[in-house]
Amino acid sequence: MLWWMESAQRNLRRAENAMEALDYAEAVFWCHQAVEFALKAFILWRGELPIKTHNLARLAEQAGLRDVFPAHELSELSPYYSISRYPDVFEGILEVEEETASRFYRLASHVLKEFKRRMGLEGR
């Protein structure tokens, strides 16, 4: 469980680095990864095995937290995993604006902070 949360934190730092480099598509991908890993850490912390998916809304539902985080933002962020990894399927990587990347970065930061609080990991 700790590996997942530590990886989520590393992914959030990667998103921040991508934001600083003005690579907003990369930043959004790492935001997705941070949220996904944090959700999986929380599910493991609850004593369950996470379902095998990259769909953030489904993971939030399994975690019992579908209403804690904005479901529309989780649903909007989910496709960025596939789009960034399989651009040939989606006709290239979408252009991501700074505003979109910033919004998802705030979401990912909020998710990690909330999970750390719930799991008693604030100092980590």
> CATH number for the domain including 32?
1.20.120.330
CB 66 within 8 A of CB 43: no
Question: What is the pLDDT confidence band of residue 1, given thresholds at 50, 70 and 90?
Answer: confident
Considering the entire predicted model, what is its pTM?
0.88
Per the domain annotation, does 90 fall within a domain?
A: yes
Is it the case that residue 122 has pLDDT exceeding 80?
no
Is it the case that residue 84 has pLDDT exceeding 90?
no
Per the domain annotation, does 124 fall within a domain?
A: no
Range of the domain at 107: 2-119
